[in-house]
Amino acid sequence: MMDGACCGPGYGSPQEAIKAPREKLLYSIAIYTGTGIQKPDYLATVDVDPESPTYSQVIHRLEMPGIGDELHHMGWNACSSCHDDNSMSRKYLILPGVRSNKLHIVDTATDPRAPRLHKVIDGAEIKAKADLSGPHTVHCLGSEIIISFLGNAKGEAPGGYLHLDKEFNIVGRWENSMGDIKFGYDFWYQPRHNVMVSSEWAAPNTFMPGFDLEEVGHLKYGRELHFWDFEKREPVESFYLGEDGLLPLEVKFHHDPDSTHGFCGAALSTNVIHWWKDNDGAWKWEKIIDVENEMHPEWPIPLPGVMSAILISMDDKYLYLNNWLHGDMRQYDITDPHNPKLTGQVFMGGLLGKAPVVNGVEMAGGPQMFQLSLDGRRLYVTTSLFSTWDNQFYPEIREKGGVMVMIDCDPENGGMKINEDFVVDFGKEPNGPSRCHESRYPGGDCTSDIWL
């Protein structure tokens, strides 16, 4: 399909990925969980081909078999890490339900415009075989799959990692030890350095009902980054980030497999943490971006940005981040990873009132999840974070639903601008207002491909 000429799925290098054909389809999570509408969550196929008559529209909806999954993040069965394996193909998307614990395996290759359900792994089976709940990040590992889970079967931290084979059978737990890790969340691995880095959110029992600031003070939310011996499958070093690293959520290494530089967005302190390996082989970290809190008339404390996601462009030149409560997306030039430079900023939604209407749509929520085109020119942004948190901070999202916008990015000189010809209003879906979260392309993307 959109795979390279060689061998298996993905691309031979990040440079090859940048030269891939432009994306024409986009898959986005869409949820009814937490909206009051008793309908299943679904996978929306969005037409992103500007030459198409259905451009900027949802052209297909694959409903899940149950209600209340809370689809959240998703990932591919195969990526560039198995580029040399011609028996593999990037055919299946794995859609975990954070609340139901189910893993939905979706076939996107037979008909890319109309994906179909291939298999469901029941949450009860995962709890029984691996004592895990609250699935989050999916990464392919060659021909196999690792999924981070945020809790045990009872919803208590730290959770662990589920290991699936390429037929989607449960192998068991991937890790040999969780060490002293208190919480789980995101992870990314860099095989040439035998390292995996994982981050921390909270136990499912803590974050699912909603956000309580007091629980941060009671240490029920994470503030550490963990460095693993990837081959031994065990953590070897942890960094306590303190007040600079409250809720360290998304972690991303450079795409260059030789690089040791990586980044983490700390959501509540609204900082970017940079890590790297020094000349003596020791891991170091520093805070490189600090988004100031903003005063808000209805808030008793200054309003944090809430940086819930970050993304690195395929050429490792730009870091993108969101401020979900402030309402802005930012682009930083990280050519020197120790000294990032702000090169672009746009507002959409948020609580500061700087862009309440975008392309004719009243925005509820703020910029949350985003996916960058492989060539670095188009950034697709959605507005829902997590159902109970949405309802707490943006109660109007129940009636208005989520929105997807596209931001045009300038990879040569830097800069961002909202594209006025594209908007997908999930408030007008057939079954009522739904909310959109993570997005993926059929040909792979900047948040899944890892090179060995």
Q: How far apart are CA 319 and CA 325, in angstroms?
A: 19
Q: What is the pLDDT of residues 402-434, one digit of tens each?
A: 999 999 999 999 999 999 999 999 999 999 999
What was the pLDDT predicted at 429? 98
In a domain? residue 24: yes
Structure tokens at 295: 């005063």
Do residues 433 and 30 touch, judged by C-beta distance below 8 A? no
Domain count within the chain = 1
- Is 337 inside any structural domain? yes
Binning pLDDT at 50, 70 and 90, where does residue 3 land?
very low
Is position 99 within any domain?
yes
Q: What CATH number corresponds to the domain at position 283? A: 2.130.10.10
Q: Confidence class of residue 6 from pLDDT cuts 50, 70 and 90? A: low
In a domain, 234, yes or no: yes
| pLDDT tens digits, 363-402 | 999 999 999 999 999 999 999 999 999 999 999 999 999 9
Q: Is residue 300 part of a domain?
A: yes
The SS3 of residue 172 is strand
CB within 8 A of 170, min separation 6: which ones?
121, 125, 126, 129, 130, 162, 163, 164
pLDDT at 86: 86
- What percent of the chain shows pLDDT beyond 70? 99
Judged against a pLDDT cut of 90, whether residue 109 lies above it is answered with: yes
Q: Residues of 38-72 as b/e, b for ≥16 C-beta within 10 angstroms?
A: ebbbbbbbbbbeeeeeeebebebbbebeeebbbbb
- Work out the mean pLDDT of the chain and round it to a whole number: 96
pLDDT tens string 326-358: 999 999 999 999 999 999 999 999 999 999 999
- pLDDT tens-digit series, residues 53-81: 999 999 999 999 999 999 999 999 988 88
Q: Domain for residue 1, yes or no?
A: no
pTM, to two decimals: 0.97
In a domain, 388, yes or no: yes
Residue 5 lies in a domain: no
Three-state DSSP at 141 gives strand
* Domain membership of residue 326 as a residue range: 14-440
Residue the block writes with tokens 């990873």: 337
